[in-house]
Structure 1
Amino acid sequence: MTTASAKCPAVSALPSAPKAQATPTKAAAPMAVYAKLVACTFLWGGTFIAGRIASAALPVTVAATVRFAIAAILLLLVAWRLEGGLPRLSRAQLLATALLGLSGIFLYNLCFFGAMTHIPAGRAALFIALNPIVTALAAAVVLRERLTALRWGGIGLAFIGAAIVITRGDPLGALHDISQSLGVGELLMLGAISCWAAYTLIGKAALKGLSPIAATTYAALWGLFFLTLSSARQLGGIEWTAVGWQVWAALFYLGAFGTVFGFIWWYEGVKAIGASRAAVFNNLVPVFGVSLAALVLGEPVLASMVAGGVLVAAGVTLTNMVSPPAPPAK
Structure 2
Amino acid sequence: MSLIIFGKSHVHRPLFAYLLLTLSALIWSGNFVISRAVASLIPPVGLLFWRWVVALAVLCPIVLPRLKNQWPLIRANLKIFPLFGLFGVTLFNLLIYLAMHTTTAINAALVNSAIPILIILFTRIFFRKGVSARQWVGILLSLGGVCIIILRGNPATIAHLTFSAGDLLVLGAATSWAAYSVCLRYYPEGLDPLVFLFCIALCGQLFILPLYLLEVINGATVPVTAASLASIGYVGVLASVVAFVAWNSGIRSVGAQVGGQFIHLMPVFSTILAVLFLKEHLQGYHLLGILLIVVGIIFATDLLRLRKS
In the other structure, the counterpart of 1:77 is: 61
Residue 230 (1) aligns with residue 219 (2):
no
Query: Bigger shift: 155-164 or 54-63?
Result: 155-164
Is 2:97 the counterpart of 1:113?
yes
Instruction: Give the helix-richer structure, 1 or 2.
Output: 2
> RMSD of aligned C-alpha atoms?
4.2
**1:160-202 residue CA offsets vs partner (Å, 9 max, x unmatched):** 344545655555774xx6x825444444333322211101122
**Using a 3 Å threshold, how does the CA distance of structure 1 residues 324 and 46 change in structure 2: closer, same or farther?**
closer
Indicate the residue corresponding to 1:315 in structure 2.
296
Supply the AA of the counterpart residue of 1:24.
R
**1:88-111 deviation per Cα after TM superposition (whole angstroms, max 9, x unaligned):** 566772221111111111110122
Q: Which residue of 2 aligns with 1:96?
A: 80
Partner Cα separation in structure 2 for residue 284 and residue 165 of structure 1: 11
Aligned position for 1:11: none
- More deviation in 256-265 or 302-311? 302-311
Q: Structure 1, unaligned stretches of length 5 or more?
A: 1-15, 326-330
More moved, 65-74 vs 121-130: 121-130
2:118 to 134, 139, 160: 134
- Contact 2:141–2:292 (CA<8 Å) still a contact in 1? yes
Give the paired residue count.
Answer: 298
Structure 2: which 5+ residue stretches go unaligned?
1-5
1:221 match: 202
Quote how far apart the aligned CAs of 1:24 are: 2.4
Q: Aligned in 2, Cα 1:279/1:138: closer, same or farther, shift over 3 Å?
A: closer
Quick one: which of 194, 211, 219 aligns to 2:175? 194
- State the match for 2:3 in structure 1: none
Asked if the contact 1:70–1:255 (Cα under 8 Å) also holds between the matched residues in 2, the reply is yes
Q: Deviations over 1:3-27 (max 9, x none)?
A: xxxxxxxxxxxxx976x642229xx
- Partner Cα separation in structure 2 for residue 76 and residue 297 of structure 1: 36
TM-score (ref. length: structure 1): 0.70
1:67 and 2:48 correspond? no
With over 3 angstroms needed to count, the CA separation of the structure-2 counterparts of 1:35 and 1:77, relative to structure 1, is same
The one-letter code sitting in structure 2 at the alignment partner of 1:232 is: L
| SS of residue in 2 equivalent to 1:55 | coil
Task: List aligned pairs for 1:1-330, cutoff 5 A.
Answer: 21-24=10-13, 41-80=25-64, 87-88=71-72, 93-119=77-103, 124=108, 128=112, 130-164=114-148, 169=153, 174=158, 180-205=161-186, 207-208=188-189, 210-236=191-217, 237-240=219-222, 242-264=223-245, 275=254, 284-293=265-274, 295-296=276-277, 307-321=288-302
TM-score by length of 2: 0.74
Structure 1 distance, partners of 2:281, 2:245, is: 32
One-letter amino acid matched to 1:45 = S
Q: Give the Å deviation of 1:311.
A: 3.1
Note the alpha carbon deviations across 1:13-55, whole angstroms, 9 max, x for none: xxx976x642229xx98xxx99887665443321122212332
